[in-house]
Structures are given as C-alpha cells and as structure tokens.
Amino acid sequence: MYETNIYRLLHALKAEYGDDLSEMDVDLPVILSKDHPDLIGFRKDSFVNIILIFDFELQDPDFSQENIRLLQVVFSDVTDNGQLYLNYPMYESCYDCNGLNDPDFRESVVRVPAAGKTETWSGEYKSRVKEKKNTIRNTLFLTVDQVDKILQKANVHEASCRKELCALKKSPRGEVHLLIAEILNRYMDDLPESLPWQLASMLFQKCDIQPDESYNEFHRRGLKTLAGMHLQKACWLQKDSFFNPMQLLEVQLTAKDTEQKLYIINTGILFLADYNPNLLA
C-alpha cells in the first residue's frame, strides 16, 4: 500500500519519530495516512494484523546494514507495529526457480554487484527472471485475456459469459467441457463443436491438474508448493525448523559481505503461512 521502497518509509518514520526507532511505538497507519487519505482516522489498533512486504533494495543509496536491521527490529510483531517480510533480492524472487519442486532452488543465489555498480542491477535481475516468471504464472493462474480472445473470435462479447466460464475453475476438469457447452449454448445460436474443448484446454493449460481436481484446488496446491519451497529454504539457511525474519536477515548480510551473494528467497509469500496456515493446508 505504501507504493515505494522501504528506505522511503524509513525517512518518513524518522521524520515523525526521530532517529532512535528501536524502542518506539510506531503507528504505521498514521504515517501512511499522510499520503493515503483513505487511512485518515485509522490507528494501528484498528487492525488485527499489520503486514509489510518490501524488497531488500540493495541498490538503493540509503541501503545500509544499520538501516535494514533497524527496520526488521521495529517491525517484528504482526499484532503491534507490524511484521516486515523482506524479499531477497526483490519481489521477482518468488518466480526465480525452474518450476515447482525445483531441486536446485535451495542453494540458488544471486551475485551482489560491486560497490558503485548497482544502478542497473535491479533491471538486469528482473530481465533474467522474466521468462521464469511467465512460466510459473502460466502454471498457476488462468490467463483471462486468452479466454477473452477466444470468445471475441466466436462473436461472444457479453461479460457475463466470461464470468460464468471463469467460475468453472471450481469444477472438476473431467466435466468442464460439458459445462462450457451448456453456458455457450445460452449465448450462441450455432455452437462450434470444438469450442468447448478449446476453452476447457485454456482453463487448465500447462497444469498438472488431476482429472477430479478443481482449478481452485490445483491453485492452492501450487501456492502451497511454492510457499513450501521458500519456507524450507529459509529454515535450511537459518539451521532452524521455524522461520525467523531477523535470523534470515543476518544470514543474508553475512553472505553479502563474505561471499558477495544473496540467497534467492521471497519471504513475502511466507506471510500466508503466518497469517492463516489453513490457506495452505
């Protein structure tokens, strides 16, 4: 929601509370309300949980070990100031793997640029991950735009038709083509025999979805697998059975200083397990 990087947030916090934030009772909604009028009147006790997800931002001029440690200390309680989840090196790390259950993901790293050469580093990393990102997203998510294109070619333009079709992702794969035909017959006078099969394939393309598994069930299974990869890596790096954001940060800072690398890991996705483990159960 803050729509900027974590060091801009740090500047705003220091402007409000001063430089010594480590023991400060920070009211994040009050800070955010200055740029987000819809938060005016809210305080942190208006919310059950406060979650912050930011990139590590190694390339930022304000990056320092002192600053990032301070922010991780200040935001260490989801029910109070909030809990900070850092993505190493950035959001795209969520997709930086060779598919789900990638056996090499645990030890995957990204090299840290030399001092003074960080300006293009972020863009280069995003470009490198782009193809992997597309693959993972196509595996996990229905591309609604592709469904739209098929319907437009068939001269079906009613938004309600697409809405009904996309709702079928809750249905078992084995019967979805029959349900598609039933829907399309209400919108078309002459239904091509191949169209229901084409749309059924689109709904479940590139998925290892099981015949009796709904798209929603597959989607949850995929997210659980992806989150599990990152959780297992975090615990392996910490040599612990529980994810600890501060402990992981120290591992990453040590790797950065001694080996000029960061372990690729997205802790943002781990808030799902912390917030509601049943979402991934």
Q: How far apart are CA 93 and CA 125, in angstroms?
A: 9
Q: Are residues 255 and 227 in the same domain?
A: yes
SS3 per-residue string spanning 167-209: HHHHCEHHHHHHHHHHHHCCCCCCCCCCHHHHHHHHHCCCCCC
Q: Are residues 70 and 158 in the same domain?
A: no
Looking at residue 35, the DSSP 8-state letter turns out to be T
Q: How far apart are CA 28 and CA 43, in angstroms?
A: 8
Structure confidence at residue 73 as a pLDDT band (50, 70, 90):
very high
Q: Are residues 203 and 228 in the same domain?
A: no
| Helix, strand or coil, per DSSP, at residue 240 | coil
Structure confidence at residue 139 as a pLDDT band (50, 70, 90):
low
If you average pLDDT over every residue of the chain, what do you get? Answer: 84
Summary count for the chain: helices (H), strands (E): 11, 6
Q: Are residues 155 and 277 in the same domain?
A: no
Least confident of 75-84, 87-96, 99-108, 195-204: 195-204
Q: Are residues 10 and 121 in the same domain?
A: yes
- Domain range for 220 is 1-139+214-281
pLDDT score, position 281:
58
pLDDT per residue over 204-255, tens digit each? 655 555 656 666 677 778 888 889 899 999 999 999 888 999 999 999 999 9
Q: Are residues 103 and 131 in the same domain?
A: yes
Q: Are residues 170 and 44 in the same domain?
A: no
Whole-number CA gyration radius for the chain: 23
Q: Are residues 128 and 162 in the same domain?
A: no
Q: Are residues 165 and 56 in the same domain?
A: no
Q: Are residues 103 and 4 in the same domain?
A: yes
Q: Are residues 205 and 247 in the same domain?
A: no
User: How many domains, in total, are found in the chain?
Assistant: 2
Using the predicted structure, report yes or no on whether residue 280 has a pLDDT greater than 90: no
**One-character DSSP codes across 87-131:** EES-GGGGG-SSSTT-TTGGG-EEEPPPTT--TTHHHHHHHHHHH
pLDDT score, position 215:
62
Residues 108 and 96: beta-carbon distance below 8 Å = yes
pLDDT per residue over 11-26, tens digit each? 999 998 888 887 888 9
Helix or strand (DSSP H, E) at 53: strand 51-55
CA distances from 12 to 4, 5, 26, 135, 262 (A): 11, 11, 11, 38, 27
Last residue within a domain, chosen from 159, 180, 213: 213
Q: Are residues 182 and 243 in the same domain?
A: no
What's the token pair of residue 109?
């790293």
Last residue within a domain, chosen from 213, 239, 273: 213
pLDDT score, position 275:
72
pLDDT per residue over 43-57, tens digit each? 999 998 899 999 998
Last residue within a domain, chosen from 168, 183, 213: 213
